[in-house]
Structure 1
Amino acid sequence: MRPFVRFLTALLGLLLLAAGAVLLAELVWTAIPPLEGTFLLERTSLEAELRTLSWNAPVVRAGAAVTAVLGALLLLFGLRAGRGDVRLHDPAEGVAVVTGPRSLARLVGRKVREQEGVAKATVVARRKAVRVTAVSEFTEVGDLERRLADTARATIDDLPLVTTPRVSVTVRPTKRS
């Protein structure tokens, strides 16, 4: 989500920069006395077209609706783009302790990969959930899924987390050669 918000922010910034540059060029062009007309925008035809529109025109209402929806979406994306830090219990008054989801995923992943029978594992951690996807070294999974779920839960339980995230584990057998 964060890269998407960064992309949107950069795109909107560039659009506003371009609009400001055009406006500035137009103002400078009309402020210089020897020059006639406009630089980029034909102001007289634009003014004539805008004078024919009323506030109740479908084009104006559609433009307002599109602007409102885009604004609401940008606000929603902006609010959801937080880092999603995982809070830990505060050790003292006025001290807040957090860790990132990536650190939590590394810790759980290291413990899961240490288990016997795991060929490889990927872990994705969020504030409310930890998802483990592992591949068994063998063609039979057996009780590996239960053992990995217990290991992941025990690792998370050992941490002083304020809220305990859900743990989901998926184990696939290795492919036969």
Structure 2
Amino acid sequence: MRVLLRILAPLLGLALAAAGVLFVIEVVAAWVRPDATTGLVVPWPDWRATLEGLTWANTPVPAIAITVAVVGLLLVLVAIAARRSDVHLDAPSPEIAVTTAPRVLARLVGTRVRATDDVAGASVTASARKVSVSAQSWNDSTPELRSTVTSRVDDLLAELPLRRRPRVSVSVQERKGPR
């Protein structure tokens, strides 16, 4: 969701900037040409005449209002879903809030997992709820590697002052080729 927000924010900003530029152009044009009957870029008098003839009972008005409300609600939901997903740690005192990024937890777990002799490579994703490890083993060490990696990750999580311990998920693939 954060990627969607990173795309939507500049687009909405550009749209508002374009509307502001159009507004400034029209205001300056109205000052320069006070006797003009039409706008320079936007046909304001035609739009005004059309809008003066509309009431809330006309067909397009409720549909447009509902569409704007739904789009606004979707934007609010996207913004709420894109909140930071910090991992909360136990604080040394009640006045202090201690958090870390999931990326930091993933790096810690990845470093510990890759230090295992039988691991050829590993990728780790972490959140406040779950740590997922995908390890690659050498040809002969696949059966016991899963339990070894799981115990290493569990030991690391026990050492960290996590407020809530995440679930651990480990998958192991065999790497072909020479060691």
TM-score of the two chains, using structure 2 as the length reference: 0.89
Amino acid at match of 1:78: A
Cα deviation 1:31-51 (Å, max 9, x = unaligned) = 224662311111222123223
SS of the counterpart of 1:131?
Answer: strand
Separation of aligned partners in 2, 1:144 and 1:153: 14
Aligned to 2:133: 132
Assess if the C-alpha contact under 8 Å between 1:87 and 1:98 holds in 2.
Answer: yes
Aligned to 1:113: 114
Assess if the C-alpha contact under 8 Å between 2:39 and 2:45 holds in 1.
Answer: no
Assess if the C-alpha contact under 8 Å between 1:139 and 1:175 holds in 2.
Answer: no
CA RMSD of aligned residues (A): 2.0
| Stretches of structure 2 lacking an aligned partner (at least 5 in a row) | none
For residues 62 and 176 of structure 1, do their structure 2 counterparts lie closer, same or farther at Cα, with a shift above 3 Å needed? Answer: farther
| Stretches of structure 1 lacking an aligned partner (at least 5 in a row) | none
Aligned length: 177
Matches within 5 A, 1:49-128: 49-128=50-129
TM-score of the two chains, using structure 1 as the length reference: 0.90
Aligned to 1:165: 166
Aligned to 1:153: 154
Assess if the C-alpha contact under 8 Å between 1:119 and 1:136 holds in 2.
Answer: yes
Assess if the C-alpha contact under 8 Å between 2:114 and 2:122 holds in 1.
Answer: yes
Assess if the C-alpha contact under 8 Å between 2:102 and 2:127 holds in 1.
Answer: yes
Assess if the C-alpha contact under 8 Å between 2:118 and 2:141 holds in 1.
Answer: no
SS of the counterpart of 2:143?
Answer: coil
**Would you say 1:31 and 2:31 are equivalent positions?**
yes
Identity of aligned residues (%): 38
Aligned to 1:9: 9
Assess if the C-alpha contact under 8 Å between 1:138 and 1:173 holds in 2.
Answer: yes
